[in-house]
Chains A and B, each alone.
Chain A
Amino acid sequence: MSALLRRLAPLPFVLLAASVLVFALPRLTGVDVPRAVLRARTADAVPDPEVQARVAAEFGLNDSAVVQYLRWLGAALRGDLGFSFVTRQPVAEVVGDGLAVSGVLTVLALGLAASIGVPAGVYAASRPGGLLDRGLSAAGIVGVSVPEFVLAPWLVLVLAVGLGVVPAVGWGGPQHVVLPVLTLAAYPGALAAQLVRAETVEVLGRDHVRLARAKGLSPGRVLWRHGARLATTSVTSLSAMVVAGLLGGSVVVEVVFGIPGLGRGLYDAVLAQDLPVIQAATLAVVVVAVSAGAVVEVLALVLDPVARNREESR
């Protein structure tokens, strides 16, 4: 239990620090907020100074930074993240919708990566130096060397332009999911396969596996029940890394395929200097990344008794 507490204790501080940075963001950009609001709404190059002063008063920009921060934080905790400068939609809504879309992509990509990567890694470990094993180590190098911004146009070229089986861009139907999910799943899939292979090879050399073999268990049973089981720990920690990367880092994929996710929302907001959306999206990405990390650390403790004992005895 104390191990759990030690893992989770820093979380509130990290989130608090992140909120201060996110709050300070508009001040770092040097964007004149009332001016930006007016320009986004009226497309007027030189706004009336009187109107500008009224907007500043309305946003409470004349108060001290601390007062503004506390007010902003209080509102944010209640789910009120302000309104988009550009569309005037509630920001919480914009970010929530984007998060839902990116979440679907992330879950599908992670599922695909795990369901191909894990069995491939275990099988390769059972036959070291075999065809799949050698193919996998080559695929590992390719997997980490082909970035999303390269894989996406290649897949478009082959599957959309060449074969014409799926549309190149768009969002809405199941046919739109294929290319982005394939693009997103490639890297985690290759990584999972390599990780699982290395772990399983190591576990297969341990005493309890040799005992299981000596008892006369079939090779398949030994491999899947005893060998591959411990590999789940490393796959969990991998998925944390990937979830954070996928949710916030799917910017490239969402921009390329025209998907209205969180990454695309943040990208568009930066281009339009839509500060409230940028702040909320940044906060969402940070919260997801930090909590994914925490969840995995806890899961690792739950799944791996050895690590748990080490932590308790410390």
Chain B
Amino acid sequence: MRAWLGGIAAALLLVVAPLALPDPVATDFGAILAPPSAEHLLGTDQVGRDVLARLVVGARLTLGTTLLTVLVTGVVGIAVGLAAGYRAGPVGGLVLRFVDLLAALPIVLFGLLATLVLGPGLGSLLAAVWLVGWTPFARQTYQLTVAEAGREYVEGAVALGAGTARVLGVHVLRNIAPALVAHACLRFAGTLLTVSGLSFLGLGVQPPTPEWGAMVAEGREFVFAAPHLVLAPSLAVVLVAGAATALGRRLG
């Protein structure tokens, strides 16, 4: 319960905090690459923009994109995994092989090709992560469903005349839901790293929009003069990903 309250408080903070912080795209040439101070808690970047403000506004984009991706790929992957796992014959096996094949290819390849086809921007980033992001969900759900499909309660439901949709949607899904929630936490961490990693390569949102991965990339040029430019956004990525991973393992 405390964890949920903490999560809600953090989400509220991301909505409210920008009101109290400086404009994330306003430049101040009087304070370029300034170290952290009372005025700029995390210092300023190469054109005098407040790093904390960019971090907080960037969080909405980075974490929002990640959350949306986990929801979309989760729904698709769970549906595929349920269907393939319940009919785990040759067809289910074929689906699983396709899933493994897609998952074996590096995600950056998809990011690059999506950028080539659609042009750089948030759209091609989403296309790439949505195209392959459902595969881990599908694999996990497949395994859980196969294990569950042989249980007595499933046989009972079928014997009572429940259709496939009802058996899967009501009975199986409800029983594997806790494991799927744990998996979703791990996927949140993985997706966050993918989204910010692609943005780091310039394949996501374009400047001057603040985004954590893009901020790390921008800060890298000034790593000698102003290490806080790299440290602030990269620590943000690591802390959130680590928290989601720890939560997923605790639940799983």
A residues neighboring B (CB under 8 Å): 10, 14, 25, 28-29, 141-142, 144-150, 153-154, 156-157, 161, 168, 240-241, 244-245, 247-249, 251-252, 255-256, 263, 266-267, 270, 273, 278, 282, 285-286, 289-290, 292-293
Contact = CB atoms under 8 A, between A and B. Distances in A.
A256 B105 contact: no
A153 B104 contact: no
* Interface of A (DSSP majority class): helix
Chain B contact-residue range equals: 35 or more
Given A145-B189, A290-B104, A150 B234 contact: yes
A80 B87 CA distance: 44
Contacts of A286: 105, 109
Contacts of B131: none
Contacts of B220: 153, 256
B241 interface: yes
A213 B34 CA distance: 64
Contact of A273 (B108, B116, B196, B234): B116
Contact of B197 (A248, A252, A273): A252
B227 A161 contact: yes
Nearest to A154: B234
* Interface of B (DSSP majority class): helix
A251 B227 contact: no
B193 A141 contact: no
B186 to A, nearest CB: 9
Contacts of A150: 216, 234, 237-238
Contact of A278 (B116, B231, B249): B116
Given A153-B223, A285-B105, 7 more contacts: A25-B116, A29-B116, A149-B196, A149-B200, A153-B230, A244-B106, A270-B112
Given A147-B197, A148-B197, A266 B109 contact: yes
B117 interface: yes
A241 B197 CA distance: 19
A157 B230 contact: yes
Contacts of A263: 108
A252 B189 CA distance: 18
A149 B192 CA distance: 12
A145 B112 contact: no
Interface of B: 97, 100-101, 104-109, 112-113, 115-117, 189-190, 193, 196-197, 200-201, 213, 216-217, 219-220, 223-224, 227, 230-231, 234, 237-238, 241-242, 245-246, 249
A140 to B, nearest CB: 9
22 contacts: A144-B241, A147-B196, A147-B197, A149-B216, A153-B223, A153-B234, A154-B230, A240-B104, A244-B105, A244-B106, A248-B105, A248-B106, A249-B106, A249-B108, A249-B109, A251-B112, A273-B116, A282-B109, A285-B105, A285-B106, A289-B105, A293-B104
Most-contacted residue by chain A among B107, B108, B117, B227 (CB, 10 A): B108
A140 B183 CA distance: 16
A118 B106 CA distance: 24
> Nearest 7 A-B pairs (CB), nearest first?
A249-B106, A248-B106, A145-B242, A145-B241, A150-B234, A149-B200, A147-B193
Contact of B237 (A29, A147, A241): A147
Contacts of B193: 145, 147
Contacts of A10: 97
Contacts of B107: 249
Contacts of B223: 153, 156-157, 161, 168
Nearest to A246: B106
Given A145-B242, A252-B197, A252-B201, A25 B97 contact: no
A285 to B, nearest CB: 5
A149 B193 CA distance: 9
A255 B213 CA distance: 14
Nearest to A292: B104
A14 B101 contact: yes
A252 B200 CA distance: 8
A278 B114 CA distance: 12
A214 to B, nearest CB: 34
Nearest to A161: B224
A290 B100 CA distance: 10
B220 to A, nearest CB: 5
Contacts of B101: 14, 290, 293
Nearest to B230: A153
